[in-house]
Amino acid sequence: MQRRASSWVFRRSPSTGTSCAACWTACAGAPSDASRVRSFQPIVPSRASTSHSAPTPRPPPRRLIEHALSLIGRAQHGEPCEAEAARSELAEWRQANPEHESAFETASRYWSATDASALKGSVPLPLGRPARARRRALTALGVAGLAAAMGAGMRWAWLLPIAEYALATGRGQLLGHDLLDGSRIDLAANTTGQVAYYRHRREVRLLAGEMRFDVRPDAGRPFVVVTDWGHVRVLGTVFSVAVRDQRMRVEVAHGRVAVRAVRWNDARFDAPTGSDMVLEASEAVEVDGAGFGRLTHVRAQSVGAWRDGWLVFNGTPLPQAIARWNDYLPRPLRLADSAALRDMRLTGSFPARDPSAFLQNLPDILPVRVVRESGAIVLYPRP
């Protein structure tokens, strides 16, 4: 009997932050080149010499400084296309009002002061300096320390999620969950994952099982699904991602997604590969430690069909089909060590709520024997 999970675990929900701009069309095929992000360095203006009689300029409002820091943060830590958009927005914003330029200069000093090298030597204190001069230097050092603390706080806050929680289902359970932005995630049986909202992206980490996503577009916060085998980036579409049998499978019902594989070296994560594969509607691909598999086609209605109680297979290798059935079977189904079984492929739609009917009819579909032994169900090739 199919059951539905009724709860999810809330872990943390700090205050919300500022969204950032991004461009899906530019990002879909752009390589993730960190150097493009690091190349942006806030310009710290040189201090003009002024006389003691010159009036002290009024500092810019805090809200403008915070906005400038937000733009600098996006330019420093965003994805390549996001950083480029932030740089353009920052340049236009600075030219719009002299007060904006003043806020940018202040924000740049705050940001740069978080680097220890920026503080080192910024307030020299030679031996024998008069006490009054020393007090001025110490005051300046205190301001620099405050700037460092503020800049470091902004950087730290930018990297932290503003909301984070876990989702999970057990054997035979299904779970539908609406996200904070109006997107929806449906979890298949035996699925675990984590959801995190950042100021510049929405991220779901799929640890095991399968999820179907109906994503609400938000250009300021791209939607990314992360697994050990690859990343899926999308702005608005319906698709599913599954992690089983040491591989990731992505199927698209509507819209399109960009899939990026990751390389593995000696069973350890190495780095993302440099190119994306863009999937259109009714397309699917599998990714394992060796990279991308063959592009295949699927029916849009079959993407996430388990939500309606059906398991759909289309030339699926028997080991992968059995792995899916084990999410619903009360007792695990195993394959005997047989090359013939590993080469078999299963096609058809089966009601997930009736696994016993599947086992009963399987010998009529494939040349196998179903044997119950030692608390498990084992498939053997039929002679």
Q: Which of 278, 304, 330 is the last residue of a domain?
A: 304
Residues 262 and 376 reside in one and the same domain: no
Beta bridge partners of 345: 317
pLDDT of residue 177 exceeding 70, the answer is: yes
Residues 285 and 168 reside in one and the same domain: yes
Residues 151 and 69 reside in one and the same domain: yes
Percent of the chain with pLDDT over 90: 29
CATH number at residue 346: 3.55.50.30
- Between these two residues, 104 and 15, which has the higher pLDDT value? 104
Split into its structural domains, the chain has a count of: 3
Reduce the secondary structure of the chain to three states and give it as a string: CCEECCCCEEEECCCCCCCCCCCHHHHCCCCCCHHHHHCCCCCCCCCCCCCCCCCCCCCCCHHHHHHHHHHHHHHHHCCHHHHHHHHHHHHHHHHHCHHHHHHHHHHHHHHHCCCHHHHCCCCCCCCCCCHHHHHHHHHHHHHHHHHHHHHHHHHHHHHCCCEEEEEECCCCEEEEEECCCCCEEEECCCCEEEEEECCCCEEEEEEEEEEEEECCCCCCCCEEEECCCEEEEECCCEEEEEEECCEEEEEEEECCEEEEEEEEECCEEEEEEEEEEEECCCEEEEEECCEECCCEECCHHHCCHHHHCEEEEEEEEHHHHHHHHCCCCCCCEEECCCHHHHHCEEEEEEECCCHHHHHHHHHHHCCEEEEEECCEEEEEECC
Within 8 A by CB and 6+ apart from 249, the residues are 241, 242, 284, 285, 286, 287
Structure tokens at 220: 């300021």
- Between these two residues, 196 and 58, which has the higher pLDDT value? 196
Taking residues 288-316, what's their average pLDDT?
89
Residues 219 and 335 reside in one and the same domain: no
Residues 191 and 261 reside in one and the same domain: yes
The pLDDT tens digits for 246-264 are 889 999 999 999 998 886 5
Q: Which domain holds residue 202?
A: 1-17+162-304
pLDDT of residue 159: 64
Chain CA centroid to CA 378, Å: 38
pLDDT of residue 148 exceeding 90, the answer is: no
Pair type for strands 202-214 and 223-226: parallel
- Between these two residues, 145 and 266, which has the higher pLDDT value? 145
Residues 203 and 322 reside in one and the same domain: no
Q: Which of 98, 133, 159 is the last residue of a domain?
A: 159
Residues 250 and 187 reside in one and the same domain: yes
pLDDT of residue 25 exceeding 60, the answer is: no
Percent of the chain with pLDDT over 70: 67
Residues 149 and 167 reside in one and the same domain: no
Q: Which of 276, 304, 332 is the last residue of a domain?
A: 304
Residues 110 and 220 reside in one and the same domain: no
Distance separating alpha carbons of residues 209 and 325, to the nearest angstrom: 12
Residues 361 and 344 reside in one and the same domain: yes
Residues 296 and 260 reside in one and the same domain: yes
CATH number at residue 278: 2.60.120.1440
Residues 254 and 338 reside in one and the same domain: no
The closest alpha carbon to 17, from 74, 85, 75, 82, belongs to 74
